Every structure is written in C-alpha cells, then in structure tokens.
C-alpha cells in the first residue's frame, strides 16, 4: 500500500487540476484527477496556504472518470482533462466562466450560460507546436512538454489524439524524413517546430531556433503535402522562406486568406466556424450598420459584415495580418493599423463593436472609450474568463449584459472561449 493522504476531489482549477483540501485546511491541486474521485496523493510542493500533489492511486473513481484514450496519458502536458467525460468537461468550463464573472467581475444576476460543444472531441487541431531537443549522438526527442515538468519532452508521433488526421500524417512523415539527428532540419540543439495543416490536407512547417544548415528543400520534395519550410533564429523573429511555396492560401469563413507563419487562425476549424456564426448572429442584420472590429487580425468579421451592407473598420497591430488583409480588398471594410487603445476613438461612435483581444484582454483605455461612447451592442470574444471579467467590470454603468455563451474550441484542455453580448443602457436594440 502506498503512503499518502486520501482526499476527495471537489472541483477543478483554471489549469485543469483537481482541487481538494488537506487535513490542515490548505487547498491542494492534483493533476489527472476528476471531481468525485477519492485519491491517494503525495505532496510535491507545500506552501503556507496551498500545496500541489501527485496522484498515486485512484482509490474510488468519480462518476465522470474514464480511461484516458491517449497513448501518452499521464506523461504529456498537452491534455489535462482527457480522463474526464466530455459532458463533465463542458460543465466544468461553464462553472469556470460563471465563477470568473461573479468573483472577479462582480457581476450579479447572470443570464444562464449556454455551452457549445466542439463538433469533434478529438482530432481537431490544425496547428501544433512541438519542441525538438537533439541529444547525444543521433538521438532526437520531439513532442510536447511533460505535465508539471516543462524541462522534459514527451516524444510523440502523429497518433496524438488532438491532431487533425492530415496534421498527424505530416508529423509522422517529417519525423521519418528528417534523418539521423534531425540533420535535415536547421542547426540548433533546441528547436520549436510549428506545423500547420490547411483545409486541403497540405501544410507547412516553421522552424524556430536556427536558420543555418539542414536540407529543407529535400523535405519539401520528399514529403507529400509539405508545401513550404520557413525558419527563424528565435521564436518571434521574422521568418524566412527556406524551401517551397511562399504564396499559400486557406479557405476560412468563406474567405480566401493568404497564409504565412504567425498568421492567427483558430486551431479548431469546425468549432471556430460555429464561434464565427455566433458572433455574426449577435451582431444582427448588418445592412446600414457602422461596425468596429477591434483586434481584427485579417478582418474576418468586418469583411463578412461589409459584404452584407455594413460599413466596417478593423483595428489591428500586426503588420503581417494587415498586409494579408489588404491583399484581398473588400468594399466597405478598411483597416486602422496600430494599437486598439490608440486608435479606438477613430472608430467610434459605432452601432456594433466586436472585441476579440488576446489572452491578456484589452489594454487600459479601451473600455473607458466604450463607456464614453457605448455602442448599441458590444460583442466581446474572450479566450480567458478572468481577463474578460476584469474588462466587463470597467463597463459598469454604461452597458448591461444580455447573453453569455461558452464555445469549446479546446476539448481535453481547461481552455474555453466565451462570447459575451452587451447592450447600451437605454438602448432598445435586441
């Protein structure tokens, strides 16, 4: 019998760890557990008010526990919820949204939160970033970081359950063809490999961490469906095409979008289509509306609305996204290049405002500008319930909450997308 306290899991943290309490009252977080489980653990980190534990044994499984379907379960950090039935994952994400809005945002009398499941529980990712480490001799480890041990790489193949079939096939082919010590890839002991599959089943590779050496041209020639290899010295540096086609296009939301490394598109194409439809439904009939699409990227929302009669302005900081957008002109849609907080005043007043910021939420000044000139309707698309709640609290006295919808773009992980619809106080818009 293994030593260690036996605890009951009461809930989930925002990281997807099970939450329980130690006999001394401290909160303890244990990954790979499910609410309702009775588990034996050992402590791995102990603080004054909280602790972390490692699962030793499931003494009695909770009603929502299942056998993880992935061969890498228990080692890989790519999924933290796969031991939980999918309906319970959705319930946990619904609770996370509710708790953030009430506890952080101080919002009361919330409408019922509607949850939208992903059309696919597995096999949904069209893009994945793998870490590659060259060991001694010709040894290579390539995959995702280990759970709670980010210095260790879990070597994985294309049978990872998160990957689209075409992405998994490309990853297996790349692993087979990169040669001993991954010599056909650019030099560098540690590389970051981002592989993206397009809707036609082809794809391209971005290698970060080295640009010299290798034989990328041979990889493009030999791997069916690999259409380009890009490289950058460090993560975030401008990439350079080293082999293959520079002009690639994706068909997304009815748009023909030029694609290059770094271009932002959601990783779950099926669920993202549903998210897109939800946002457009919340905007309502576009004809005659003045729309501000902030943090717009390529401008998929603003472009679609302009095609249906709206006058739309998109604000975007990334020059590459703007370059791609301006290459495909849509009458009635224009870009403002720069930070949203610097340029939002130029897009106001507006009948509709769409906010789709990064995980950190909006910068100071954005919500204040919207409070001063509130649109009849505001649709906020968030990938972090905590920063969403913080930002909504800044609108107090200017707008009221109409609807809250969760969209599961990331099954098997604790992440969730939220669409919140608000209207100006005194507005008769519905």
CATH number reported for the structural domain that contains residue 299 in this entry: 3.40.50.150
Q: For position 426, what pLDDT does the model report?
A: 75
Q: Do 94 and 178 fall within a single domain?
A: no
Q: Do 131 and 115 fall within a single domain?
A: no
**pLDDT beneath 50, residues of the chain:** 1, 430
Q: Do 34 and 98 fall within a single domain?
A: no
- pTM of the shown model: 0.92
Comparing C-alpha atoms, which of 272, 340, 320 is closest to residue 300?
Answer: 272
Q: Do 418 and 274 fall within a single domain?
A: yes
Please indicate, yes or no, if residue 354 is contained in any of the structural domains.
yes
Q: For position 316, what pLDDT does the model report?
A: 95
Q: For position 261, what pLDDT does the model report?
A: 84
Token pair, residue 266, equals: 């959601």
Quote the domain boundaries for residue 345.
89-120+268-424
Q: Which of 259, 282, 317 is the last residue of a domain?
A: 259
Please indicate, yes or no, if residue 429 is contained in any of the structural domains.
no
Instruction: Reduce the secondary structure of 53-119 to three states and give it as a string.
Output: EEEEEEEECCCCECCCCCCCCCCECCCCCCCECHHHHHHHHHHHHHHHHHHHCCCCCCCCEEEECCC
Rounded Cα distance between 238 and 262, Å, is 9
How many helices (H) and strands (E) are present in the chain, helices listed first? 9, 23
Question: Which residues participate in catalysis according to the annotation?
Answer: 383
Q: For position 418, what pLDDT does the model report?
A: 98
Please indicate, yes or no, if residue 73 is contained in any of the structural domains.
no
Please indicate, yes or no, if residue 165 is contained in any of the structural domains.
yes
Could you tell me how far CA 68 lies from the centroid of its own chain? 22
Q: Which of 208, 224, 259 is the last residue of a domain?
A: 259
Dihedral sign, Cα of residue 157, residue 162, residue 166, residue 167: negative
Q: Do 251 and 277 fall within a single domain?
A: no
Q: For position 430, what pLDDT does the model report?
A: 42
Domains identified in the chain, total number: 3
Q: Do 21 and 145 fall within a single domain?
A: no
């Amino acid at each position: 019998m293994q030593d260690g306290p036996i605890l009951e899991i009461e809930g989930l943290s925002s990281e997807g760890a099970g939450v329980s309490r130690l006999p001394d009252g401290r909160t303890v977080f244990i990954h790979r557990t499910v609410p309702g489980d009775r588990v034996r653990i050992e402590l791995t980190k102990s603080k004054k008010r909280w602790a972390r534990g490692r699962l030793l044994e499931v003494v009695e499984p909770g009603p929502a526990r299942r056998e993880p379907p992935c061969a890498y379960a228990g080692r890989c950090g790519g999924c933290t919820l796969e031991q939980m039935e999918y309906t319970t994952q959705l319930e946990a994400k619904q609770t996370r949204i509710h708790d953030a809005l009430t506890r952080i945002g101080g919002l009361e009398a919330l409408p019922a939160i509607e949850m939208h499941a992903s059309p696919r529980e597995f096999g949904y990712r069209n893009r994945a970033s793998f870490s590659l480490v060259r060991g001694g001799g010709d040894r290579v480890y390539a995959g995702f970081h280990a759970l709670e041990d980010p210095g260790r790489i879990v070597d994985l193949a294309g049978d990872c359950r998160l990957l689209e079939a075409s992405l998994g096939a490309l990853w297996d082919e790349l692993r087979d063809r990169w040669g001993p010590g991954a010599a056909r890839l650019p030099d560098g002991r540690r590389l970051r490999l981002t592989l993206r599959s397009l809707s036609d089943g082809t794809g391209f590779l971005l290698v970060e961490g080295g640009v010299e050496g290798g034989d990328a041209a041979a990889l493009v020639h030999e791997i069916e469906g690999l259409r380009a290899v890009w490289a950058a010295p460090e993560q975030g540096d401008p990439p350079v095409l080293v082999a293959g086609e520079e002009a690639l296009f994706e068909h997304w939301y009815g748009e023909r979008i030029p694609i290059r490394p770094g271009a932002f598109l959601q990783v779950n194409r099926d669920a993202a289509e549903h998210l897109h439809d939800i946002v457009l439904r919340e905007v309502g009939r576009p004809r005659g509306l003045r729309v501000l699409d902030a943090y717009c990227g390529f401008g998929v929302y603003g472009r679609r609305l302009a095609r249906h009669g709206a006058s739309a302005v998109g604000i975007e900081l990334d020059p590459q996204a703007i370059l791609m957008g301006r290459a495909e002109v849509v009458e009635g849609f224009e870009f403002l290049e720069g930070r949203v907080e610097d340029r939002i005043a130029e897009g106001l007043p507006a009948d509709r405002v769409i906010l789709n910021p990064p995980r950190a939420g909006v910068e100071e000044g954005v919500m204040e500008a919207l409070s001063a000139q509130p649109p009849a309707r505001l649709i906020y698309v968030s990938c972090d319930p905590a920063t969403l709640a913080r930002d909504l609290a800044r609108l107090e006295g200017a707008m009221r909450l109409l609807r809250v919808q969760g969209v599961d773009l990331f099954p098997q992980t604790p992440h969730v997308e939220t669409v919140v619809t608000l209207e100006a106080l005194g507005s008769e818009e519905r």
